[in-house]
Each structure stands twice: as C-alpha cells, then as structure tokens.
Amino acid sequence: MTDAFLVSGTRTPVGRYGGSLSAVRPDDLAALVIRQVVEDSKVPSADVDEVIFGNSNGAGEENRNVARMAWLLAGFEDVVPGITVNRLCASGMSAIAQAQQMIAAGAADLVVAGGVESMSRAPWVMAKPEKPFSRPGDVVDSAIGWRFVNPRHVDHPKRTFSMPETAEEVARVDGISRVDADEFALRSQQRAVAATQAGRLTREITPVEIPSRKGQPTVVTTDEGPRPETTLDALSNLRPVVAGGSVVTAGNASSLNDGASAVIVASARAVEKYGLNPRARVVGSANAGVPPEIMGIGPVPATRKVLERTGWGIGDLDAVELNEAFASQSLACMRRLGLDEQIVNSDGGAIALGHPLGSSGCRIVLTLLRRLEDDGLQRGLATMCVGVGQGSAMLIERV
C-alpha cells in the first residue's frame, strides 16, 4: 500500500455569518485556496489526478460540483477532473481521506483535497410542487439543519433533532453542566485570541481580497470569530437556545461561518518526481455511526476505530484537533476518550474560530499539521462529529 503525504496546504480566514467573506462566492473562495496550494507546491497543474472538495450545502452558488467549478475558476487546465463529497461537517476531512485512499490504491499520485462553505450565501429554497399547477411549497433557509424532512421520520422524532437539541441531549446523557460548557467556551476563546495575537495561525491562512466599488479593496487576513472581550460572566448570562434546555447557548456553540481550505495529497512517487516537501503522512482514517440525537459523541467510536486499525493508542497522541461543534459534545468526547485537555485545541477551536461546515474537516487537519510543526511534535489526531449521527477521525504523523 502506497503512503500518502500532506504537502502544501492553506485556508482562508474564517468569516462570520454576514461578515467580510459574505461578499465572496463560495466557488471563488474554493478557487483561491486551490490556486494557492498548487502554486505553493510548484507541481504542474495538469499533472494533478483529481480534485476532491467537501461541501455540506450544495444548494446555492456552489451547486453542480464545486470541486470542478473551482478548479476551472482557478485558471487551470480542463483535463483535470473533480468530484464534490458531502459528509456534512466532515466533508473536508472525507475529501482528504478519499485522496489518501486513491493514492494507497495506486489510482492517483497527486490530489487536491479540501472543502468550502459559505453559510452567509446559502439560499432560501422552495420545495418543488408534486403536482402540475400546484402552489409553491414551503420556503426554508438552507444554511443549516434539516429541511424537507421525510414524514417517515415521524416515528423517530429524536432522529430529526436540531443540532443544538443534540448538544443538549449529549449534555444530559453525559452530565455536562452549564458551568462546564461555559468554562470550555471561554478557554477556546482565550486560546484562539492568544494564538491570533501571537501570529501562530498566520501560516495557515491565505488572505482574501474583497473588491470595493469605492476604491482600494479590503484584505481579510485573520479569523473574524475570536472575541477578546469574552468573560465567564458574559457567557453565563446568555439564554439557553433549546426550549426546556439549560446548557447550550450561542456562546458555547460554534457559529455559522464562511471559509475554504485545501491541501495537496501526494504519493511517495510524486514527492520524488516533483521534489516536493512532505510535511506529514496520513496514517489512517475512520468513520462511525451513532444515534442521531447524540451525534456529538461521533468522534469517540471513530477515534477508537482508527486507533485500533493503526495500532496506535491514546497515549501516542501528541496533539489533537477536536472540532468544537458545541462545548457539551467536545467535553463528552474528551472525557470518554480520556484525552488530556492540554493537547486538545491548544490554539482554540470552532467555538471561537468558527465552523464553515464543508471546510472545517480540512481546516482542523491543517491546524493540526501546523501545530505539530510549530511545537516539534510527531503524532496527531483530527476528529469531529457529523450531523445525522456520525463521527470522523484521521491520524497524521509528521515526517
């Protein structure tokens, strides 16, 4: 089986919902990071075997296979194919996993993998009438959550819980208190602010230029989510967002965001042929299913599965990136897996940085890779929960 290596990688800043990046189409965000990783690696663009991009929404400007569209928008040759994958929050991670699997199988040597989401620009969508001459159906926001729910789910009401409802359920099942969740959220904000101020995230980020009709364009260089003013008192005063709930608030949950990320995954043969700089080896990946109403614990079985497959143990991990969909589910996963909080999200997580769904899986892999390099560490885990009850996990090793 052929090893797969992570070579050049980058991401845009993560934009707030309705923030600076809302002025940029998602396919343009994807094109930006694709162009950047290809240029950074100096590989001949026509020699790329495949473009694999994750996207969770797919209902708006990124519809009709954003991987292919973004490659063409980046100005590269039309001989390179592209495919878009959707595992909701883990779409970007699944793109990297599929790239690694193609290389391991000998089906590719160079793959551009990543993901994109613009939750700001997600359209309102309307159900198509089932009969001719019918009136328009319901109109719903496609940014996040269930839409056009199949009525057959009526016998399984918890299956269609909203994401905050699943986080509240995890808090109940695992005994996560409101204080626990708020303290975790504060720690995420503090770590992200410190990392931003120290310039630790700069190497991950490709700035995004926002055109202006009035003169000089605006250049976005940093994540818009971290809030230096956050305090425990402020978090504790926020109202729960779930009816009848007590734990999940807007302050201890990830937000709606915009962003894109990409990485080149290369075989050993490509590394030698093109003189590439392999930064890490993709050791393995795994996915798992859990009850949809507690989807937040998905990283637990996914992590256990990939550790068992590779022969690694929790004690072998030097750094962990656990996507912070919610504080309650992050804490539940850390406790169930026995993870040391000091090595988990040391530069903050999605509660502070944001969670552009299709991009986040690739984003946390890039952050993990950068942390391994910055801190002289060797082995890392990236893992995340997935809507409708799944978890994804990936192990990488710095080379």
Structure tokens at 280: 């890490």
Residues in the chain: 399
CB within 8 A of 155, min separation 6: which ones?
none
Per-residue DSSP letter, 355: B
| Identity at 384, one-letter amino acid code | M
The closest alpha carbon to 62, from 97, 111, 29, 22, belongs to 29
The closest alpha carbon to 281, from 105, 96, 115, belongs to 96
The closest alpha carbon to 30, from 261, 224, 218, belongs to 261
CB 128 within 8 A of CB 137: yes
The closest alpha carbon to 37, from 96, 88, 87, 112, belongs to 112
SS3 322: strand
CB 38 within 8 A of CB 264: yes
Active site residues: 89, 355, 385
